[in-house]
Amino acid sequence: MDGFVTVVLAAGQGTRMNSSLPKVVHKIFDKAMVSYAVDAAFGAGSKKAIIVTGFKEEIVRSELLGKENIIFSHQDRQLGTGHAASMALPFITAEDDVLILYGDMPLLTKETLKNIHDIHKAANADLTLQSTNVDNPFGYGRIVRKDGLLEKIVEQKDATHKQQEINEINTGLYCFKASALREAILGMNNNNAQNELYLTDAVEILLSKGKKVQATISPNNEEFVGVNSRVELAHATKIMQKRINEKLMISGVTIIDPTTTYISVHTKIGKDTIIMPGTVIEGDCVIGQNCTLGPYAHLRPGTILGDNVRIGNFVETKNATLGTGTKVAHLSYIGDALLGENVNFSCGAITVNYDGKNKHLTKIEDNAFIGCNTNLIAPVEVGKGAFIAAGSTITDNLPPDSFGIARQRQTTKENYIKKT
């Protein structure tokens, strides 16, 4: 039977995060770690995902709202990875292949998940696990082999000195036949250093019953980084930043300094756009071709740019659509706005979109000129070809081809002596 079901273990608090939130909802570029894991599974062909939750599960559920074919299973007490996996058994049929992974592994790719399932199917294995080699294996379960064949997995706290020198580690990614998973869980006990049911014990249990168990080694250990602390979260973020930026550059986007450019995985960018250093792009932004962004531009969710748009130094946009050829050179804010084509939005001009209670829309039509330090008090509309004088505060709609000026006439007092 093609396809598989995925079990995502996401019940723990993650004490080393020192957070009131569940570990798996901490974000990398505005996307929760657990959401990365789930999306990778569905991208690889998973039919459904069973999310094992526990600590503050309502927060985990909220991060996955809107995703289809998801089932939640609650784990009252965290009694080990084997116990967590057992929470998914009521939702698994006898014919299923079952992929098990952790919700704190945001760097897994759909290609890797598909590959382990393909290897598992081709070998007709009962259990296939993913291993990799690392320079520093401390903290990971070690892969113990005999004559090149998988013999068992030994956790760090249970490993002998010799076993701790092994560099091949268990990544925590498994593919089971459903029947083998049930059999392994029934055979588990908590006779170990942590008094928990280890999912890793499935290897010895199944081998003792004559089942086919194998470990496939991945040459890319970067994907299997688990996040247990804020330091590790920052490390994973840097890897994701590099991955996102390289993918965009390969697709035809110029990023002058990828190390200082932060772009959401949700953002889409057209060819020949140039992104200057210090630029941050969040959420579901859509950017056309031949645009120039930055340096130090901040594009927030809901930003849509047509082709040949210029967003310059220290410009912030949010929930704003800018038409082809529009220019916002520097030191401006555009929020909750619709700008047409070839609009000139000058230095220091802003849309005043919030009245203290509600957000309001600013609409600027094609070829309008917005002078320096203009305040556009929304809701307001500026017609096609209209011109606004620098320093104006615009509260009323401007018709097409009109001139708007809204500032107090200058008063000059000569021979003025300041009182002391």
CA 215 – CA 186 distance, rounded (Å): 22
Parallel, antiparallel, or unpaired: how do β-strands 142-146 and 149-154 relate? antiparallel
The C-alpha torsion from 58 through 61 and 62 to 66, rounded to 10°, is: -150
Overall residue count recorded for the chain in this entry: 420
The one-letter amino acid code at 74 reads H
Looking at the DSSP bridge assignments, the partners of residue 274 are: 254, 292
β-strands 262-263, 327-330: how paired?
unpaired
DSSP-H helix ranges across 140-229: 161-164, 178-186, 202-208
Sheet architecture: strand order including 403-404? 254-255, 274-275, 292-293, 310-313, 327-330, 344-345, 369-370, 387-388, 403-404
Contact by Cβ (8 Å): 224, 108: yes
In angstroms, the CA 404 to CA 399 distance is: 9
How many whole angstroms separate alpha carbon 176 and alpha carbon 129? Answer: 8
Nearest to 53 by CA among 108, 7, 117, 122: 7
Q: Which residues form the catalytic set?
A: 330
**Is residue 104 within 8 Å of residue 32, measured between CB atoms?**
no
74, two tokens:
């609650």
Backbone angles phi, psi at 363, to 5 degrees: -125, 125
Burial of 13 (0-12, 13-18, 19+ CB in 10 A): middle
Largest Cα span, the chain: 103
What region, left, alpha or beta, does residue 415 occupy, with left being phi > 0 and alpha being psi -120 to 50 degrees? left
Match 């199944």 to its residue by tokens: 206
